[in-house]
């Protein structure tokens, strides 16, 4: 069967940007930036996006387009041995498991959207609202809705499913984001938030901040999840991978910045005396606990109906962002089963979907509903739930390892000249350019070293409660 392709470069760019733009950009980034030096953080983040993440992104896309395979197929075909095949497996199991936790979060967002539309904003803003909702039976109705929608999109395939959905949802998302930014900036005290987000304070940049910024940039671009290998395998040969990669990185950064102009002004208009340190580090805390309070407070100005409208608008925006990311991550194991077992898309989707839903239900029950699932394991000084376990193991730990292995694979197994040849297809001026030399050099040297450090530090921090980087930076007097 001939492999499907995106119909144009733009189709691929929107699909890949859809994957990259998620709750990471919309919520985690603005809070991180404002706590860690505003524009100073932004500059460093942008530097990491283009100088560390972009080469990895280009490598994944090239590997996918060259092999026309999912990650398992790509590692098997080029690796030619058991060890690389095992890495291939890892890069399919990882997105499968990340898909499970992302599905749960998307279901929460869908639930908040539904409740805001139904006029239950007051429940969402209640301090206990989140805990009650994630442990309610209603949740499973929303899960059915999200799973149904995801299936509907993925069943359409690359062109009629993924590309069609993202070419509608992504432009809508941009327009909605800009509309919300404009609205929020008109609120009283909004400029205080803008100031916090944009005034640079380089004294806040510590070793820890650098580490956090890099990890955030890396994960936010959907790297090391097999997504860009899989989507890359659907790019046409005459499309320019390099300029598409730059566009995707740029769009993701742009959304993150716009979102900063939304979240922080909103927080300050809610409470001009707010201490930035009060803002939750976690996206979950911000989206599901803090922001609903802000929306409800708008009722003083625009009434309950108006406040519910703005809240629904915001959750719809986040829901679109989450759906396009969810679709991209589930496509990885789906493509692997289709390629590897020769199954039809529909059969691959049903078998995988069933397994995923079972795991998502188990995760959803691990927030207190079933005791042993909620306290399944203790490590690093904390008791963890089934959901935490998936998050820690796959998102936090295995992702940087996958990234590291990918760099080594591309440069030392597939070899630089093959990577160059693939990147030069559809891009006549690439050969001999600065970027070509930079990509080759960085992927073979300092990028894998940085990823190795992040990996080791994460393992030590999460499982042993020992943060190697903090100790190191304070020993050299750099906090």
What are the residues binding ligand PFF (CB under 6 A)? 19-20, 22-25, 98-99, 102, 219-220, 222, 325-326, 328-329
Q: Which is nearer to ligand PFF, 76 or 220 (CB)?
A: 220
CA dihedral (124, 127, 132, 138) in degrees, to 10, reads: 0
Q: Closest separation between CB of residue 227 and ligand PFF, Å?
A: 7
Work out how close the CB of 213 gets to ligand PFF at its nearest, in angstroms, rounded to a whole number.
14
- Token pair listed for 263: 């979240």
Q: How far is the CB of 387 from ligand PFF (least distance, A)?
A: 14
Beta carbon nearer to ligand PFF, 24 or 38? 24
Nearer to ligand PFF, 123 or 166 (CB): 166
Question: For residues 341 and 318, what is the distance between their CA atoms, to the nearest angstrom?
Answer: 35
As measured in angstroms, the least distance from the Cβ of 340 to ligand PFF is: 21
Least Cβ distance, residue 127 to ligand PFF (angstroms): 26
- Assess contact for 216 and 27: CB atoms under 8 A: no
Minimum CB–partner distance for residue 403 and ligand PFF (Å): 13
Yes or no: say if 64 and 78 are a contact pair by the CB < 8 Å rule: no
Count CB-CB contacts under 10 A for residue 464. Answer: 12
The rounded distance, in Å, linking the Cα atoms of 175 and 317 is 10
99 versus 161: smaller Cβ distance to ligand PFF: 99
Q: Are strands 382-384 and 377-379 parallel, antiparallel or unpaired?
A: antiparallel
**What is the number of alpha carbons within 13 Å of residue 150 lying toward its C-beta?**
34
Residue 24 vs 403, nearer CB to ligand PFF: 24
Q: Which residue, 99 or 245, is less far from ligand PFF as judged by CB?
A: 99
Q: What DSSP string runs through 247-264?
A: HHHHHHHHHHHHHHHHHH
Q: Which is nearer to ligand PFF, 310 or 329 (CB)?
A: 329
**Closest approach of ligand PFF to the CB of residue 2, in Å:** 27
Beta strand extents in 340-397 (DSSP E only): 377-379, 382-384
Nearest distance from C-beta of residue 99 to ligand PFF, angstroms: 6
In whole angstroms, how close is the CB of 24 to ligand PFF at the nearest point? 2
Residue 7 carries which DSSP code? S
Nearer to ligand PFF, 49 or 125 (CB): 49
Q: Which of 331, 242, 289 is nearest to 55 (CA)?
A: 242
Both tokens of residue 49?
Answer: 């996006």
Q: Phi then psi for 3, rounded to 5 degrees?
A: -75, 140
Nearer Cβ to ligand PFF, position 102 or 314?
102
Neighbours of 354 (CB within 10 A): 10
**Cα 387–chain centre separation:** 17
Fill in the DSSP letter of residue 161.
Answer: I
């Amino acid at each position: 069967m001939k492999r499907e392709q995106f119909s144009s470069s733009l189709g691929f760019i929107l699909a890949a940007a859809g994957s990259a733009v998620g709750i990471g950009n919309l919520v985690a980034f603005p809070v991180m930036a404002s706590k860690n030096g505003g524009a100073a953080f932004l500059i460093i983040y942008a530097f990491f996006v283009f100088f560390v993440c972009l080469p990895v992104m280009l490598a994944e896309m090239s590997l996918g387009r060259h092999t026309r395979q999912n990650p398992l197929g790509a590692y098997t075909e080029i690796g030619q041995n058991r060890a690389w095949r095992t890495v291939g497996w890892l890069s399919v199991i990882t997105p499968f498991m990340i898909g499970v936790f992302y599905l749960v979060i998307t279901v929460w967002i869908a639930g908040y959207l539904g409740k805001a539309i139904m006029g239950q904003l007051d429940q969402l803003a209640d301090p206990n609202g989140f805990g009650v909702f994630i442990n309610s039976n209603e949740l499973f109705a929303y899960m059915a809705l999200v799973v149904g929608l995801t299936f509907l999109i993925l069943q359409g395939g690359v062109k009629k499913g993924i590309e069609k959905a993202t070419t509608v949802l992504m432009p809508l998302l941009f327009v909605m984001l800009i509309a919300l930014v404009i609205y929020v900036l008109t609120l009283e005290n909004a400029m205080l938030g803008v100031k916090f987000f944009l005034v640079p304070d380089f004294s806040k940049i510590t070793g820890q901040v650098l580490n956090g910024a890099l990890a955030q940039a890396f994960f936010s671009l959907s790297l090391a999840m097999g997504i860009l290998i899989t989507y890359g395998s659907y790019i046409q040969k005459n499309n320019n991978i390099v300029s598409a990669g730059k566009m995707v990185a740029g769009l993701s950064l742009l959304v993150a910045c716009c979102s900063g102009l939304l979240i922080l002004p909103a927080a300050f208009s809610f409470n001009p005396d707010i201490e930035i340190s009060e803002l939750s580090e976690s996206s979950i805390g911000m989206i599901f606990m803090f922001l609903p309070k802000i929306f409800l407070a708008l009722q003083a100005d625009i009434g309950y109906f108006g406040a519910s409208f703005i809240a629904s608008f915001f959750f719809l925006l986040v829901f679109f962002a989450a759906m396009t990311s969810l679709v991209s991550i589930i496509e990885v194991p789906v493509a692997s089963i289709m390629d590897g077992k020769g199954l039809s898309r529909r059969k691959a989707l049903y078998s995988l979907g069933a397994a995923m839903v079972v795991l998502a239900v188990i995760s959803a029950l691990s927030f207190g509903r079933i005791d042993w699932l909620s306290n399944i394991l203790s490590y690093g000084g904390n008791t963890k739930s089934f959901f935490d376990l998936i998050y820690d193991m796959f998102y936090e730990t295995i992702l940087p390892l996958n990234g590291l292995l990918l760099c080594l694979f591309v440069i030392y197994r597939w070899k630089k000249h093959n990577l160059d040849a693939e990147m030069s297809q559809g891009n006549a001026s690439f050969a001999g350019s600065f970027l070509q030399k930079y990509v080759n050099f960085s992927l073979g040297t300092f990028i894998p070293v940085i990823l190795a450090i992040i990996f080791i530090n994460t393992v030590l921090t999460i499982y042993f409660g020992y943060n190697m980087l903090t100790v190191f930076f304070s020993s050299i007097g750099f906090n």
